[in-house]
Amino acid sequence: MFDQNELQFEMVQLLDENGNGDEQELASFSDEFLVTLYRWMRKARVIDERLLKMQRQGRIGTYAPFSGQEAAQIGSVMALRKDDWIFPSYREIAACLVHGLPLAQIFQYVRGRVIGKRMPDDLNIFPIQIIIGAQTLHATGCAWATKLKGETQVSVCYFGDGATSEGDFHEALNFAAVYRVPVIFFCQNNHYAISVPVHKQTASRTIAQKALAYGMKGVLVDGNDALAVYKTMKQAVEAARNGEGPMLIEALTYRLGPHTTADDPTKYRNAEEVEQWKRKKDPLHRLRVLLEKRGLWTEAQEEAWVAQVNEEVTAAYEEATANETGSLVDIFDYVYGKPSKLLQEQQQEVARRKQRKEVK
Amino acid sequence: MAEITMIQAINEAMRQEMERDERVIVLGEDVGTNGGVFRATDGLLEQFGDQRVFDTPLAESGIIGTSIGLAVNGFRPIAEIQFLGFVYQAMDQLAAQAARIRFRSAGRFTCPIVVRSPYGGGVRTPELHSDALEALFTHSPGLKVVMPSNAYDAKGLLIAAIRDEDPVLFLEPMKLYRAFRMEVPEEPYEIPLGKARIVKEGEDVTIISWGATVPLVAKLAAEMKAQGVDAEVIDLRCLQPLDIDTIMQSVEKTGRVMIVHEAVKTNGFGAEIAALISERALFSLSAPIVRVTGYDTPYPVPSVEDDWLPNAARIVEGVQTLMRY
């Protein structure tokens, strides 16, 4: 009876680890698209590496690096319309960037500035989620609203393999399927929830197959193959926009670095495994090979791109730190529409201390 | 003016707000076809249809979590948690998510949802149906906590809660749902959140209460008057925001304070009120503050709940203790 479901246990892949794939399929992607996709991935990798360094230098707070997951994040967001909603967790910096979040604001966020939390008014990006899986329900509710209003945006929820163990994940998929709302659950299975490997997280053979239980379509895609991710996401978005309801996508990928700057992955992963993913399956590598074959990539070109991103990063960092504003006084304004008398008293106390320069 | 019960007033408030504003929707367990286990949402599905009234899957976190997404994307959901004891299953979505959307987005997003839930004892419910958990949520910045004690207040406060831009936890004392009728205007009206009601003015002692215990306190205060103790009774109606001015004015007048609530004593909201009074008016006090509350146990079994709850004997004894000073 399970075969009534369209669930594919095979992994969608367009580009193998050596940059080869079905020629006809690959021919459907324009040169311009491939270059844009690759440049975003390269840019994201540079930014991630810079952020990691900055954390080590004490210039930003605890940071959750995403290197290794560029194809999953960028390939999926590039399939969206500008007005689609995304619900990021703390590891979706690349997805947020591609959806339009200014780099300077990302610096404000990672530097713990109040204003870094505020997504620009014209961007449908939900606040970055810290509690694992909580955003799955927000995305479902948001998509439900879209459907009730008769609008056409799709809501995309990002989360990791660990989130699929949370009750909210179950409730979100269940609600989404019951109400057939235009939401896409995009799981980046990066193999580890901090230190716990995915096989200790779930006994399911795949995460995608969990879709079966809720009555929605599930797809397993090679999350390090940006083209496969893009194509899968494009189909999911189209289906959701056409009223076909939610979908669960599992992008199989790998987090090359630590969970955050606070943990040491050598304690829970062996070097050989990491090396395998780094050397053989790096999402940037396989797209670069394709670009090279089409004459769209040279070493010099790459160096120029990297230099340009480095300049952009430096400029954005300077912009973010030059305009750093905000103090403890401000945070009281964001608790209620109108602060209560008791809250106002506390705010006034802080303002007095600020005048005496006792607080920032 | 019609004489109606609290549950009818709550139903009327929701119906009128749904008529006024098509963004107002209702969701929860059994709120549709069944009209709610207490009939709070009776008739709403028939009048507004299944695109505004939703019988959801049985999942508290799901109800509140999806309400957040609905609210951020333009709706004003009224979510029902069938009994307050079930809210533990939705603690993250209520206390850490809904309450903090405004803060987490530095003002970009707001979360105008109302979470309604029956609470309170004395009606012989099974385990985890009667708990008074308001203090958990006054300890969660970003939430407003409203607890009406009669039909008139329930309607006006619920309408204000639905129109509020912030998430409001609206706790309905189930014992009072049908305990008495009172005159309630048919037209919609708002009672501002954060304004206490002086139920009875008095000179000798201030009794501060809210929700389910207010009618008992009011009745006892009337009886005490005949015995020569003139108590002032304050119904807070709303714990967050708190009407500190009304409390302080009364305390400064009477110099004696009793706080009555159903929730367990330790870290109950009464402790907060006692602390605020001691910070602001210690030298106006003629006696130590007395609290009459539930005991520090899980809500008890039906056979002993009347003795566990703040009852007439304990409240009268508390006032006598205060007056001896």
Please indicate if any CB of chain B lies within 8 Å of the CB of A121. Answer: yes
Rounded CA gap, A285 and A19, in Å? 8
Please give, rounded to a whole number of angstroms, the shortest distance from the CA of A134 to a CA of chain B.
7
Which residues sit opposite B171 in a β-bridge?
A: B117
Structural contact between residues A141 and B54, judged by C-beta atoms closer than 8 angstroms: no
The yes-or-no verdict on residue A360 having pLDDT over 90 is: no
Residues of A whose CB is below 8 A from B56: 175
The chain B residue lying nearest A330, using CA atoms, is B106
Task: Tell me if residue B259 falls in helix, strand or coil.
Answer: strand
Rounded to whole angstroms, the Cα distance separating A180 from A200 reads 31
B108–chain A Cβ distance below 8 A for any pair? yes
Give the Cβ contact number of residue A27 at 10 Å.
Answer: 8
Query: Which tens digits make up the pLDDT trace of A340-358?
Result: 999 999 999 999 999 998 8
Q: Which residues of A are catalytic?
A: 255, 259, 268
**Residue B227 sits at the chain A interface (C-beta within 8 Å):** no
Nearest to A149 among B74, B242, B276 (CB): B74
Contacts for A242 with CB less than 8 Å, ≥ 6 apart: none
Structure letter (DSSP) for residue A340: -
**Contact call for residues B160 and B13 (beta carbons, < 8 A):** no
From chain B residues 152-171, the ones with a CB under 8 A of any chain A CB are 164-166
Tokens of B325: 């000073």
Report the pLDDT value the prediction gives residue A46, as an integer from 0 to 100. 97
Torsion sign over Cα B208, B214, B217, B223: positive
A1 pLDDT tier (thresholds 50, 70, 90): very low
Confidence at residue B160, expressed as pLDDT on a 0 to 100 scale: 98
The nearest CA of chain A is from the CA of B303 a distance in Å of: 35
The residue ranges of DSSP E strands in chain A, in sequence order, are 8-12, 85-87, 155-160, 183-189, 192-193, 196-197, 217-222, 247-252
pLDDT tops 50 at residue A3:
no
A118 at interface of B, judged by CB pairs closer than 8 A: yes
Sign of the torsion formed by the C-alpha atoms of A109, A113, A117 and A120: negative
Identify the band that residue A6 occupies on the pLDDT scale cut at 50, 70 and 90.
Answer: low
Which residues have a Cβ under 8 Å from the Cβ of B219 and sit 6 or more positions away? none
ipTM surpassing 0.90:
yes
Alpha helices per DSSP H over chain B: 6-20, 44-48, 60-72, 91, 101-104, 134-138, 151-163, 214-226, 244-254, 269-281, 305-308, 312-324
One-letter amino acid for residue B295 of the chain? Y
Give, as one character, the DSSP assignment of residue A228: H
Query: Which helix (H) or strand (E) is A141 found in, with range?
Result: helix A134-149
Q: Which B residues in the span 11-70 are in contact with A, Cβ-Cβ below 8 Å?
A: 25, 51, 56-57, 59, 61-62, 64-70
Using CB atoms, pick whichever of A131, A148, A342 lies closest to residue B244: A342
Question: What's the sign of the alpha-carbon dihedral A175, A178, A179, A182?
Answer: positive
Give the β-pairing of B144-146 and B238-240. antiparallel
Q: Enumerate residues 6+ apart whose C-beta is below 8 A from B252.
A: B281, B284
Token look-up 């019988």 returns B55
Q: Which residue of B has its CA nearest to A118?
A: B105
Q: Among A186, A98, A100, which Cα is nearest to A136's?
A: A186
pTM for this entry: 0.96
**CB distance B151 to B4 below 8 Å:** yes
The DSSP 8-state label assigned to residue B286 in this structure reads S
Average pLDDT, chain A: 95
Output the DSSP codes for A174-217.
Answer: HHHHHHT-SEEEEEEE-SEETTEEHHHH--SS-SGGGHHHHTSE
Interface test with B, best of A330, A340, A343, A346 (most B CBs within 10 A): A340
Predicted confidence at residue A9, as pLDDT, reads 72
Question: How far is B65 from chain A, CA to nearest CA, in Å?
Answer: 5
Q: Kindly state the tokens that stand for A20.
A: 């080869």
Neighbours of B45 (CB within 10 A): 19
Contacts of B61 in chain A (CB under 8 A): 137, 167-168, 171
Contacts of A267 (CB under 8 A, 6+ apart): A195
**What phi and psi, each to the nearest 5 degrees, are found at residue A49?**
-65, -40
Q: Give me the mean pLDDT over the A116-129 stretch.
A: 95
CA dihedral sign, ordered B203, B205, B211, B214: negative
Q: How far apart are CA B24 and CA B29, in angstroms?
A: 17
**Cα distance from N-terminal residue to C-terminal residue, chain A:** 63
Per residue in A292-334, pLDDT (tens digit) is 999 999 999 999 999 999 999 999 999 999 978 788 999 999 9
Rounded CA separation A111/A95 (Å):
19
B86 touches chain A (CB under 8 A): no
- Going by DSSP bridges, is the β-strand pair A192-193/A196-197 parallel, antiparallel, or unpaired? antiparallel
Contact A155 B69 (CB under 8 A): yes
In which residue ranges of chain B is pLDDT below 70? none
pLDDT at A208 (0 to 100)? 96
Q: Which of B73, B244, B280 to probe the A interface (max A CBs under 10 A)?
A: B73
Beta bridge partners of B206: B232, B257
Interface of B with A in 282-321 (CB under 8 A): none
pLDDT tens-digit series, residues A66-109: 999 999 999 999 999 999 999 999 999 999 999 999 999 999 99
Q: How confident is the model over A1-12, as a mean pLDDT?
A: 62
Contact A141 B165 (CB under 8 A): no
Q: What is the pLDDT of residue A7?
A: 53
Torsion angles phi and psi, residue B25, rounded to 5: -130, 160
pLDDT at A4 over 50: no
Residue A250 pLDDT > 60: yes
